[in-house]
Structure 1
Amino acid sequence: MLATMAPGRAQAEALLLIEASTGKVLHAENATYPWYPASVTKLMTLYTTLKAIKDRKVGYDTLLTVSKNAVAQQPTKMGFKLGTTVTVDNALKMLMVKSANDVAVTIAEGVGGSLEGFADLMNANARRLGMTQSHFINPNGLPAENHVSSARDLAILARALINEFPQDDAYLHVHAIRYGNRVMRNYNNLLDRYPGADGMKTGFICASGYNLVASATRNGRRLIAVVLGSYSGATRAQKAAQLLERGFDGNGLSWLTPQLGTVDKLAPIDAAPPNLREEMCGGHRRKPPSEDNQEEEVENVDASATPGGGPAFMLSNLKPAAGKYVLGPPVETVPPVVVFTGPASHPDPVIATAAPGKKKKKVAAKPNGEGASGDKPKSSAKKQAKPKVTSAAQ
């Protein structure tokens, strides 16, 4: 254990790469420093909700009601009015794509009875999973004292989501949602720019910097990358892609790589989480940083303002060590998944089953709820029953 300290400014970033199936650590930097998780917290909100569904405490079609507390949430939100109802299934899609803080509170109050009750469930799950550096105060990751995690713990959580809820994996990689006339794209832009990307969640608050838990699969092998504390959404995406590419490629030198064991065996560090507020949200930024501004072009920012004092570049200029681009321009790979308020139009639950090794049948249902303007979505836009059986999750 180290004394209470935080990584120096030049190292104010945490990086971790693991194998999803085995938990084997392929790369680690500051992976066991406590960190403010920001909206990556919503992976635990998702896990806690899926566990409640598995335990039959709620269902995919259980209606949740937007409370006054949910309406008051800022800044990223769906903007629902007090008393609006939404199914657990639709709420989870909005949570994971839009990163909606009002929806996170709606889920927490509906599943846990209250924010405090849901936080208790989140922390109980964290303890059971061995997330020894994590403590959750709320379901959305907005700043709160003692709301912390680490790259190590978030990788453990990501593995648990993949391994315990394979039937719900598509919640992790819905590319975009359509609500009425609004189309909202996933903040995890690796989904449309990195081959094989299939998850998971982004996050940002000033104190944490830009965070990302990402996963990708190639030749049947799935890797999980965690990046905490990047200077922009563009750089966190590139760093995650570089980690994933390194893991898949190996450069033929894997036999020289020191054995780092499995993620659960990484020794937690007794440290205070770094507070990056000044360098992330200080006056040197050309525009206020946020998830909505995640693609900020930082090529004109003074080098001394970037973590480590190194040069800053646009996403399109960033390359891995091998010299090849690992992120291309955005590609419209799949249509948005239609989401809506109000009750579902099918019985609860609708679960497609298949024999091992066979593909699951696709089940689709037409939407039966209100759009953003109170109008029903156009009939030509089909809404799938749950993301695990939709084409948007391929």
Structure 2
Amino acid sequence: MTNRTLRSPRQAHAITWPVRPLFAGLAAAAVAALALLVSIGIGWPVPASAVHDDGYFELDGNIPDGAAAGPDWGSVFDSNGNVSNLDNGLAAGFLMDDISPAGAVDHTVFTSGGTKNNQQPTDWDWGTQSVPAKDDLSNVYAFGTVDTNGHLIIYAGLERLAPNGDSHIDIEFNRQIISLDEEPPCANEPCGFLGLKTAGDILVAMDFTKGGDFGTLRVFQWDGSQYVIVAGGTMTGAGCDAADTICGLNNAGPSDDGGPWPNYDNHGNVVATLEKNAFTEIGIDLTGLLSATPCIGSFQAHTRTSQGNPEDLSTAELKDFAAPEPLPLCGIHWQKVDGQENLLAGATFQVCRTHDGNGADITDECQSV
């Protein structure tokens, strides 16, 4: 089995909010303020939301788009992993990772001993090595949307070569655009990463049992120097937590449709179906969990050699990774229109934040757009 070619970054979809100029009235300012709240994470009292059976995405343990409301992975991406239909989403991204079955090599592997989650990406080295099948990622994808309460909800899915082993997988959502310093394979090892973790970044850590079943999911947030577990951010076993802010599940098998893109078995053969537990998907209401909306610019995935201390990510070494891709859930594309929805070239208006996250008056913080 030869290594598959790593493809270039997928197309990015910016957040678009139709906004009227300042002189069009208060409604314009309200819409613009909502857009700012969603995109830059200004704290505000948040109503309850849900991630399961909400009509925004099919979180049902499979890839094909079924009869339920909302898209599924099989309709969001085409056979090459390009975004084909965002539906009600804001952005989506697809990571096609290299694989190393049957003694072959993987061109995207952490190569420095002691690589940990609590290090900055600029401290990581990568290159070419073999990876145990249980630690070998194949395809990873993410989808972001905002619900009617203004909550940012993230959905993610992944495929792994050996679903029957004790394995540990992380999906990381960063504010900065994290990237590799060159296209794989690394020409002169070690190669490195570009970009830094910033306060508010999110890491979702998943641990799977020896039978491959969904074990425990934990949500961590970067505090500026390390990842700290989020209060209420732990869920054990497949399903959803009581608040329906976190859900996670595997495919039921024994042979499920793997979507329009290539899937791989543990021998590296291209297959069209996935065995039980080879596919995992999660959904997290980040705004509901954090009581604030984080700023996300890119995402990446990596595996750990062990669970380590469940609440201390510095105790387990990183192994395989799926190279980072943009996931633009932080910026705003301003479209300025008049009352009849006609575009207004050059129109400007001002948006002001007048209250803090608790609703108390503050000195106005204004921005012209």
> Which TM-score tier does this pair reach, normalised by the shorter chain?
under 0.3
- Higher helix proportion (structure 1 or 2): 1
Q: Which has the higher contact order (CA 8 A, sep 6+)?
A: 2
- Higher strand proportion (structure 1 or 2): 2
With structure 2 as the length reference, what TM-score do the two structures score? 0.27
With structure 1 as the length reference, what TM-score do the two structures score? 0.26
